[in-house]
Structure 1
Amino acid sequence: MRTAAAGVLTPTDIHKIRHYVQHKYGDLPSDRRAEIVADAMQRIVLRQLPAFPHEQKLSVSTELMRSIAVRKQVPVDEKHIFEACLRLDYRDPQLFHALHEWVEQRLGVTIEHEAFKGIIEEGVHIANSPHLQVEAWDAVVGTVAGYYRAPERMAEVIALPGSRDGGLGNKTKPSTYLFLTLALSASTLFYGWWTLHPPTTRAELPQTGHPVDITPPVPQSPTIAIEQKYKNELPSELRYVEVNKERLVQYLARKSSLLAEEPYLSTIVNAAKEHDIHPLLLFAITGQEQAFVPKTHKDAKKIANNPFNVFHSWKEFNTTISESAKIASNTIVHKSQGRPDDVDALTWINTKYAEDVNWSKGVRAILDAMKRQIMLVNER
């Protein structure tokens, strides 16, 4: 039985798709190319899903693309598909049967109906209990590996010591042993985590006089991980300075930009200050990516949620202006690292931030124009 999670959408796949789209559709706008890439990626994932009705397939694939491929930026594999499928309603026999067949095909075994029902129940429990530090798919693999032999593709119960007939007995339900195996898998994995991450004690902390929580840490959300700061290696010309908001609003208003309004304006400026980035650089990026989000665009309010096109496109990742501004700022700071002295900062960031090789030229031109019209002479 194969036990390692198989890749469904790998970094190599994504790289090939982006390279092909860039080569074939290089003359299209960046948001259109991002849309083509996202569609190709989703098609790959769709082909690997259980035989659900089309509506459920789209729901699962969209969740996978958003939460795994885009937000976490990791390869999509079997464990992600299985966990996403657990969010569906398995009172529907069609959905249950499709996932049942998919798991059997992936693991190369035959699983009895009642046993698989127990697998689903425990999988849902594990998926909803992040403190266990156990993947639902890993628990399934461990359970099946303990009770099934792949060559015969037949369910086989392992004998317990002391049983009269050498087996578990006819009166015992498979789900009971399924639960025990899952519990054992969970406790074993949790023990491994505990030994590698022992709880902090009072003796290891400064004496603050306040009680210390020694419970194991709960995994952080993707948003918190995104907000992690990196060392800022931007040159001084791209570091944070105070800008005249009145002039900035006037400049954006001349562009009929929705970003001249609140909460967009202050949110972008505050993100720039928090990450020590010139505020006009962030606005220049929105100018390059989305022409400053003109109010006349039919999707202006949606675009304004992600005018930086972080994670490829506002269509693919539609969040809030607060989150997208923080992600864009953090990405700029992160990508500024390791720049050779003889390389322009925006050119260096371009190689990692955008697929368009002329992106930095556009941003630079917009930034310089904004500085001339908004900043005082001695501030440029």
Structure 2
Amino acid sequence: MSPLELTTHDFGQFGEPAETFCLITSEDGGEHISLPPGDGYSRVIHLTLPRGTRLGTLIERSVPPDAHVLAVCPGRFLDSPTPQELGARKLAVLPAGSTPLTDEYVRYFLRSAAKTDIAQQAATAEEFFDLVGDSDRLTIVDDASGTEAEFDHTVGECVWNQQAGVLEPGDQQIFPSGKLSVTAAEITTFEPEARLLGLNGDLTLRGWPIVHRHADPADGAEQQRLFEALSPLVSHAVTLHVTAGRIEGVTPQTSGAAPAAAELDKLLTDDPRYRVIWELGFGINTTTEVIPANCGPNEVYGATGGVVNLGIGITPATRFALAFLCPRSSLLTSDGTAVLGARKAVRRGRMQRVSSASCGCH
């Protein structure tokens, strides 16, 4: 396979260049990436993450203190570095451990990140948080099926997260970037009693599922089986009946959706922790396309106007963490203005949010 030729200035999420760009790969990956320094960078260093070594440990020990760092380690589960380990460095991580990524998929997402308009992504995030901040009550609608759920984000505790736009010193971000979300607690820490208490109504799932696992390779076969069992959702919709952020029931909208609805219902019955809607996500990367496979980076997919997605479970607290893309849905403010999705409208604005690691499923 010929090397993928990119330059450091292709990755706009790092902002203004630093002296050093650091590429970190796993022991069996990275040899097909050619990454010479671009405008403003003096050098590129390429480090290998040894088995058994934490990403944060390697960064703290071996990476210059103001470097920009890209970690691409297929098949490796990467714990987020602590603030002390990361320091003032900027870090982007391709989520490549919790779902199987082929070399072809890795190359696709590297090329996609190089094409992403980071300035536009930052503007989209600002518009999103302005609209959300000005409206206590939000609505998620699916026009094709007629479902509607209300989300009052002033009820209970909510944490807003931004994985989009330009990194600041000390920030870490998924790669490619392009996801906004709200969770009932800190995104990397599962709290069984936490709820998005203001979320009530019916949600339609119709789109690609994503099934994340944790580090035990023995879970790989069941991960693939679960993904295949839920794959009818690509073409056939199910309805989730939600009360105070908890899934109370699953109904297939068509006969073709019945197998996926039955699989979901079994999952919720076998482990009630999956009934908690842990995350409402919003993909805003309009450069990436959906990879038709079980692929974690699909979560940033934003079509042309943004995509609602939904997360249940969080590893390792639950065996799997599931995300569902809902490209037919729209997020609306209380006056009917579309924040994103099929009915998108935009305004300018600001709202406080956390810029930190992704879901922990790197």
TM-score of the superposition, structure 1-length normalised?
0.22
Task: Give the number of the structure whose residues are more often strand, by fraction.
Answer: 2
Larger radius of gyration between Structure 1 and Structure 2: 1
Task: Give the number of the structure whose residues are more often helix, by fraction.
Answer: 1
Of structures 1 and 2, the one scoring higher in RCO (CA 8 A, sep 6+) is 2
